[in-house]
């Protein structure tokens, strides 16, 4: 009798938990929208809230200068922060699951560096394919290198039976190697190319344009449902590879499709805004605390937290020093390094 | 009924199980799989689960060859619970059992498992009070029971358990074996369970299979398989098998048969 009561209580608690998670998703969306709007009212050329709403809702009646600032510069900038944050948050969450490593992210394990190298190679060698615009070639090459590095990581994780810390060391070796290769590219680059290359390594939203924002949003919109389709399988993988296999999951195929998604998201993010550090590491950790590891909530949660953190970082990047926009990658590094260390130290103490 | 014939399983070129044939194992039986370390017990379970390929031999479940169906279909009928417990997973017990039922590619075909079914199973296992706990807050024994729930919610025909008692205290060992017996007999499963404690095997299993280096040393009723001669050959120990004051057979170890070199 008592145990039937306990079971009913658990059912009610679980349903309540699901409702709370949906509320948290809604709260995250609200914070993202609010921080995106608040961004316009802070820093240089700040707008008042009424001016902002008028420019956004009725652009034709707004003052032309304000309209251009909002629609041509600041809105694509903010939207890019949201789209890239989502991409990196989602990629980081998937990566921590398939590599079973809380320190994994496209940045810490070298996928972003590999993408930056691919992009710089395309710029310096002026690579092109007939009928393909040069900017696409840069993105394509970034993807190719991101994918290769992701496959290498996966192979090292599986065949080397590598421990969590061994994996991170392997990743750090990749970061160093690709960063050295990017430096080599910078060394041999022409003055004009060099300017572009510095942009990749720093991570900045300042080159955001509507077509780029659209492409990034489209990629997230296409990849998100594919990741969600695998949500149960990815949750099962958290219980261990053998257990997931015994549930009838083809773990190898799951890992491969997941790596493809991660590479695509990381490579696109890098090719549009350069290497923005630590978002893919921080977002999954916060999402795990908020939602647990049921991937139906953990994956979207991590994407939304990523968008929120990058959005807030982009506000900070404009307000650290008046009149100067610090590249957002520098801000995320400043926040990310202590966070990274805290994760490492917490694991040590466990 | 489970029929294993002429099974050969090898890692690279080394045969772990050279050629194994068992008497057909009937439904509704708890079968203890016994043998010293490195005798191929886990390998046999993995091969039966389809996680390790075998080049030779056949495994038939209820008359159907398991090699002829897809990996996903096989997983619907055969569930393997590995020895290792999941590490720090921030997932609630209820969710971890739900995921076992819903993650498979064929989950939709098998019919949706509802929350009530999971809760009623947890209730049967006596762990419904842990439903909302996180896995990383549980003790080894509690995790093992949750693992069992993950296996049973899939309603398998063949249940393969690799040392499920290794992390458990005496009370939990009895509890788990009683539950397994009950589930196996009530639902007509075939439960193949790797055990190191021969007294547990004598007391709780319906059938026993003893192997060494992948070769069959004996099979049959536990009391007929667990004999002083078999223990000397299989484990290299001098042992007596004697009934206790309640008439239950007990293994008493007198020492090593030959000094360890």
Substitution target in B72, B83, B103 with the highest count of A β-carbons within 10 Å is B103
Q: Is the confidence at residue B29, as pLDDT, over 90?
A: yes
Q: How confident is the model at residue B209 (pLDDT cuts 50, 70, 90)?
A: very high
pLDDT for residue B202: 93
pLDDT for residue A28: 97
Q: What is the mean pLDDT of residues B217-227?
A: 93
Q: Residue B256: beta bridge partners? A: B237
Q: Is the confidence at residue B261, as pLDDT, over 50?
A: no
| Shortest Cα distance, chain B CAs vs residue A220, angstroms | 24
Q: What ipTM does the predicted assembly reach?
A: 0.85
Task: Tell me the HSE value of A201 on the side-chain side, using a 13 A CA sphere.
Answer: 18
Q: Is the confidence at residue A2, as pLDDT, over 90?
A: no
Asked if the Cβ–Cβ distance from B132 to A7 is below 8 Å, we say no
Cα separation, A155 vs A208, whole angstroms? 35
Q: How confident is the model at residue B110 (pLDDT cuts 50, 70, 90)?
A: low
Q: How confident is the model at residue B193 (pLDDT cuts 50, 70, 90)?
A: very high
Q: What is the mean pLDDT of chain A?
A: 86
pLDDT for residue A349: 64
Span B120-146, pLDDT tens digits: 889 888 888 999 999 988 888 888 889
Q: What angle do CA B247, B252, B257 make, to 5 degrees?
A: 145
Q: What is the mean pLDDT of residues B237-241?
A: 89
Q: How confident is the model at residue A58 (pLDDT cuts 50, 70, 90)?
A: confident
Q: How confident is the model at residue A326 (pLDDT cuts 50, 70, 90)?
A: confident
Span A327-344, pLDDT tens digits: 888 888 888 888 878 877
Span A259-286, pLDDT tens digits: 889 988 988 888 888 888 889 999 999 9
**Any CB–CB contact under 8 A between B42 and chain A?**
no
- Rounded to the nearest angstrom, the gap between the alpha carbon of residue B80 and the centroid of all alpha carbons in its chain is 8
| Shortest Cα distance, chain B CAs vs residue A168, angstroms | 18
Q: How confident is the model at residue A74 (pLDDT cuts 50, 70, 90)?
A: confident
Give residues 74 to 93 of B whose Cβ lies within 8 Å of A: 74-76, 79-82, 84, 86-92
Beta strands in B62-173 (DSSP E): 64-65, 78-81, 158-161
List of chain A residues whose C-beta atoms are within 8 Å of the C-beta of residue B43: none
Task: Tell me the HSE value of A178 on the side-chain side, using a 13 A CA sphere.
Answer: 28
Closest CA relative to residue B180, chosen from B29, B16, B52: B29
Span B137-170, pLDDT tens digits: 888 888 888 998 999 988 899 999 999 888 788 8
Least confident interval from A295-299, B68-72, B194-198:
B68-72
Which of helix, strand or coil describes residue A196?
helix
The answer to whether A261 touches A94, Cβ cutoff 8 Å, is yes
Q: Is the confidence at residue B208, as pLDDT, over 80?
A: yes
Q: What is the mean pLDDT of residues A5-23?
A: 89
Give residues 131 to 170 of B whose Cβ lies within 8 Å of A: 131-132, 134, 147, 150, 154
Query: Is pLDDT larger for residue A119 or for residue A226?
Result: A226
The answer to whether B222 touches B32, Cβ cutoff 8 Å, is yes
Span A202-257, pLDDT tens digits: 778 887 889 889 999 999 999 999 999 999 999 999 998 888 888 888 888 898 88
Asked if the Cβ–Cβ distance from A238 to B120 is below 8 Å, we say no
Which residue, chain included where needed, has tokens 């059938």?
Answer: B207
Residue of B nearest to A16 (CA): B132
Query: Is pLDDT larger for residue A66 or for residue A95?
Result: A95
Q: What is the mean pLDDT of residues A165-169?
A: 76
Cα separation, A308 vs A86, whole angstroms? 8
Q: How confident is the model at residue B259 (pLDDT cuts 50, 70, 90)?
A: low
- DSSP assignment string, B37-52: TTSSHHHHHHHHHTSS
Q: Give the phi and the psi of residue A212 in degrees, each rounded to 5.
A: -65, -40
The percentage of residues in chain A with a pLDDT greater than 70, rounded to a whole number, is 96
Least confident interval from A36-50, B22-36, B61-75:
A36-50
Cα separation, A256 vs A235, whole angstroms? 16
Closest CA relative to residue A31, chosen from A68, A82, A73: A82
Q: Residue B193: beta bridge partners? A: B32, B161
Asked if the Cβ–Cβ distance from B89 to A242 is below 8 Å, we say no
């Amino acid at each position: 009798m008592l145990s039937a009561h306990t079971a009913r209580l658990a059912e009610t608690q679980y349903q309540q938990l699901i409702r709370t998670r949906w509320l948290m998703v809604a709260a995250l969306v609200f914070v993202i929208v609010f921080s995106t709007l608040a961004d316009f009212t802070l820093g240089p050329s700040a707008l008042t809230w009424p001016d902002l709403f008028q420019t956004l809702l009725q652009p034709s009646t707004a003052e032309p200068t304000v309209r251009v600032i909002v629609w041509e510069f600041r809105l694509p900038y903010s939207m890019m922060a949201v789209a890239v944050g989502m991409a990196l948050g989602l990629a980081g969450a998937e990566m921590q699951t398939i590599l079973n490593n809380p320190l994994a992210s496209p940045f810490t394990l070298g996928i972003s560096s590999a993408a930056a190298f691919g992009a710089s190679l395309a710029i310096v060698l002026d690579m092109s394919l007939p009928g393909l615009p040069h900017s696409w070639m840069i993105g394509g090459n970034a993807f190719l290198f991101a994918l290769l590095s992701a496959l290498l990581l996966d192979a090292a994780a599986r065949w080397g039976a590598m421990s969590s810390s061994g994996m991170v060391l392997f990743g750090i070796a990749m970061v160093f190697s690709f960063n050295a290769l990017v430096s080599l590219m910078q060394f041999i680059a022409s003055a004009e190319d060099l300017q572009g290359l510095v942009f990749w390594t720093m991570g900045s939203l300042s080159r955001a344009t509507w077509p780029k924002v659209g492409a990034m949003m489209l990629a997230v919109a296409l990849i998100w449902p594919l990741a969600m389709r695998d949500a149960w399988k990815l949750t099962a993988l958290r219980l261990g590879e053998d257990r997931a296999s015994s549930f009838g999951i083809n773990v190898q195929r799951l890992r491969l499709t997941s790596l493809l998604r991660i590479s695509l998201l990381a490579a696109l993010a890098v090719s549009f805004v350069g290497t923005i550090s630590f978002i893919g590491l921080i977002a999954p950790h916060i999402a795990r605390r908020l939602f647990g590891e049921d991937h139906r909530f953990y994956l979207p949660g991590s994407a939304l937290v990523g968008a929120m953190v990058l959005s807030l970082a982009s506000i900070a990047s404009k307000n650290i020093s008046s009149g100067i926009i610090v590249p957002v990658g520098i801000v995320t590094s400043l926040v990310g390094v202590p966070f990274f260390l805290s994760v490492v130290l917490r694991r040590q103490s466990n | 009924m489970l029929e294993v014939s002429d099974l050969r399983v090898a890692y690279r070129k080394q045969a772990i199980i050279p050629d194994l044939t068992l008497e057909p194992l009937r439904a509704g039986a708890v079968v203890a799989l016994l043998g010293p370390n490195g005798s191929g017990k886990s390998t046999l379970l993995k091969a039966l689960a389809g996680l390790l390929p075998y080049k030779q031999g056949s495994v038939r479940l209820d008359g159907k060859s398991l090699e002829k169906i897809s990996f996903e279909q096989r997983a619907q009928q055969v569930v393997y619970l590995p020895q290792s417990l999941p590490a720090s997973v921030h997932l609630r017990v209820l969710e971890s059992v739900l995921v076992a039922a819903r993650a498979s590619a064929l989950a939709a075909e098998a019919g949706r498992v509802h929350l009530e079914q999971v809760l009623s199973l947890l209730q049967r296992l006596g762990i419904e009070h842990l439903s909302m706990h996180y896995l990383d807050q549980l003790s080894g024994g509690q995790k093992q029971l949750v693992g069992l729930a993950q296996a049973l919610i899939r309603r398998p025909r063949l249940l393969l358990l690799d040392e499920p008692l290794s992390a458990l205290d005496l009370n939990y060992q009895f509890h788990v074996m009683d539950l397994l017996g009950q589930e196996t007999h009530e639902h007509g499963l075939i439960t193949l369970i790797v055990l190191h404690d021969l007294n547990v095997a004598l007391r709780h299993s319906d059938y026993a299979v003893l192997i060494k280096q992948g070769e069959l040393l004996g099979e049959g009723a536990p009391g007929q398989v667990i004999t002083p001669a078999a223990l000397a050959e299989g484990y290299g120990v001098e042992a007596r098998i004697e009934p206790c004051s309640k008439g239950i057979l007990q293994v008493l170890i007198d020492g090593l048969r030959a000094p360890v070199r």
